[in-house]
Amino acid sequence: QVQLLESGGGLAQEGGSLELSCVASGSVYAMNAMSWYRQGPGQQRELVAAINPNGRTNYANSVRGRFTISRDNARNTTYLQMRALTTEDPAVYYCRGEIAPRMGPMLDYWGRGTQVTVSL
């Protein structure tokens, strides 16, 4: 089985920073595209950032220039560095991965999410 586990969420002040981590565990053979989504109160889930295996990235317009997605393939870990946080950023942040398990096909996997809160 493959599992994704997010961590690093919590409370930050407006203008502050947080770093989220997503660890893929279980029978992981390879991680393909990895991404972060978020869903705020009363909002639909939206793509925040994505990263290809070669490191190419894409960002939502709302976070471009403030958030940075990165990955460490050796550790099966994907990161989201968030800075200059605003009141538009509070949400549950979810990790999504295209992952090939050993002895299985590549599939999409989702973490359970981690809460990010911003205070004034």
Q: pLDDT by residue (tens digit) across 54-79? A: 999 999 999 999 999 999 999 999 99
Q: What are the Cα distances from residue 41, in Å, to 106, 111, 116? A: 31, 18, 12
Average pLDDT, stretch 42-60? 97
Residues 94, 96, 102, 104, Cα dihedral to 10°: 120
For the residues 73-99, what does the mean pLDDT come to? 97
pLDDT of residue 1: 86
Q: Is 60 exposed, middle or buried (0-12, 13-18, 19+ CB in 10 A)?
A: middle
Mean pLDDT, the chain, as a whole number? Answer: 97
